[in-house]
Amino acid sequence: MLDKLKEFEEEIKGFSTKSKEELEQFRIKFLGSKGLIKALFEDFKNIPKEQKREVGQKLNTFKNFAQSKYDELVEHLNSTSTNENECEDYTKPGFPFEFGAQHPVSLVINEMCDIFSRIGFVVKEGPEIEDDWHNFSALNFPEEHPARDMQDTFFISSKDKYALRTHTSSVQIRVMENEKPPLRVIAPGRVFRNEAISARSHCIFHQVEGFYIDKNVSFADLKQTLQYFAKEFFGKAKIRLRPSYFPFTEPSAEMDVYWGLETETDYRITKGTGWLEVLGCGMIDPNVLENCGIDSKEYSGFAFGIGVERLAMQRFNIPDIRMIFENDVRFLKQFSAAF
């Protein structure tokens, strides 16, 4: 063993490096948990008793020598690195950084969440795979409603009635089941419907659901909330509410914003009417409140659902909805300066 110690000592004395990688290899070889010094101490157990004192002293001396050599090299490399940094010319131009790009759908969702947060709405999210209760039954969809058919919904398990959610209204149910009024919530998310893909429609799209539940909430509160949104998002405060039907609201309405007919593009996106259809809304049906354990005689509320892709196409003049989902880098790079 004494011969090995002498051989290793000479190797350490002659070792030098300017690389931290090589120094790390040195540490692993001699000082690591499976290194040579560890192995020498294991072999020390087999040394005859009469030699243990002498060999033990030299073994400890060798270990301290190796550690001292390693510490010296570490200090030398660190001082060299510091000196090199001090010599850098900080007046040189920096390396250019490429700006990333947020997706147009993300830009619109973030803007809408920001608008509604200013009047007290909080953001909530829910799962994209939903059961029948949260996606249909609790929202007052009758058993024979066509939305429950395979041609309208992507069912994952017909036996257990699990499906890809068809709207973010399911988040409304989950919040109402677990929290007590007053509730003022905005729920953005991706939804799925079994529709033919074309320039104007897709089987995947995004929706922002909003609802407010408290005592004495009226349709006037709904109208003022939507008028505020139209003013903030479109810069236009003139809206109209047309009677409509949704299973989970009564009365129900569609909201249009007056866009005008100043340009040819205005004619195209409003189909020559000057009015742009924006969202569906209404007062939450008392049955929905009762399904979630909320007393409909004490509380009332309104809800609205906004299709994000339609607004993104209008905001960024996107002619085909399929462009939003193709992840073409040439398309996405156009939005690098949009935030």
**Mean pLDDT in residue range 313-318:** 85
Nearest Cα neighbor of 108 from 207, 253, 228 is 207
Phi, psi of 199 (to 5 degrees): -70, -20
pLDDT over threshold 90, residue 32? no
Rounded CA separation 59/45 (Å): 12
Rounded CA separation 136/131 (Å): 8
Q: Pick the range with the lowest mean pLDDT from 186-190, 229-233, 331-335.
A: 331-335
Residue 79 or residue 82, greater confidence = 79
Confidence of residue 263 (pLDDT cuts 50, 70, 90): confident
For position 339, what pLDDT does the model report? 46
Q: Pick the range with the lowest mean pLDDT from 23-27, 85-89, 223-227, 254-258.
A: 85-89
pLDDT digits (tens, 9 = 90+) for 203-226: 899 999 999 999 999 999 999 999
Phi, psi of 261 (to 5 degrees): -135, 50
Q: Which two tokens stand for residue 137?
A: 């039954």
Strand order in the sheet with 155-157: 129-131, 162-164, 155-157
Nearest Cα neighbor of 257 from 228, 219, 220, 217 is 228
Tell me which amino acid residue 167 is.
H
**Mean pLDDT in residue range 114-132:** 93
Q: For domain 105-335, say whether CATH 3.30.930.10 is its number.
A: yes
**Sequence spans of domains, the chain:** 2-86, 105-335
Which of 52-66, 95-109, 181-195 is modeled with the greatest confidence?
Answer: 181-195
**Mean pLDDT in residue range 265-288:** 88
Q: Is the pTM of this model over 0.75?
A: no
For position 12, what pLDDT does the model report? 77
**What sections of the chain are H helices per DSSP?**
2-13, 20-30, 36-43, 49-86, 104-117, 132-135, 169-178, 219-234, 264-269, 286-291, 308-316, 322-325, 329-332
Confidence of residue 200 (pLDDT cuts 50, 70, 90): confident
For position 283, what pLDDT does the model report? 96
Write the CB contacts of 144 (distance below 8 Å, at least 6 apart in sequence). Answer: none
- Name the region of 161 (left: φ>0; alpha: ψ -120 to 50; beta: rest): left
pLDDT over threshold 70, residue 80? no
**Mean pLDDT in residue range 11-20:** 77
- 3-class DSSP state for residue 53? helix
pLDDT over threshold 70, residue 192? yes
**Mean pLDDT in residue range 307-324:** 87
For position 19, what pLDDT does the model report? 78
For position 208, what pLDDT does the model report? 95
Distances (CA, A) of 26 to 4, 19, 23, 43, 284: 17, 11, 5, 21, 72
Q: Which two tokens stand for residue 183?
A: 């509730």
Distances (CA, A) of 5 to 44, 207, 258: 12, 73, 90
CB 293 within 8 A of CB 181: no
Confidence of residue 147 (pLDDT cuts 50, 70, 90): low
Residue 141 or residue 160, greater confidence = 141
Q: Pick the range with the lowest mean pLDDT from 49-53, 104-108, 311-315, 334-338.
A: 334-338
pLDDT over threshold 90, residue 95? no
Rounded CA separation 325/283 (Å): 33
Q: How many CA atoms lie within 13 A of 148 on its CB side?
A: 17
- Tokens 């004490």 correspond to what residue? 298
Confidence of residue 231 (pLDDT cuts 50, 70, 90): very high
Rounded CA separation 133/110 (Å): 29
**Neighbouring C-beta atoms of residue 12, cutoff 10 Å:** 16
pLDDT over threshold 60, residue 258? yes
Burial class (CB in 10 A: 0-12, 13-18, 19+), 201: middle
Confidence of residue 54 (pLDDT cuts 50, 70, 90): confident
pLDDT over threshold 90, residue 115? yes
**Mean pLDDT in residue range 23-28:** 81
Confidence of residue 255 (pLDDT cuts 50, 70, 90): very high
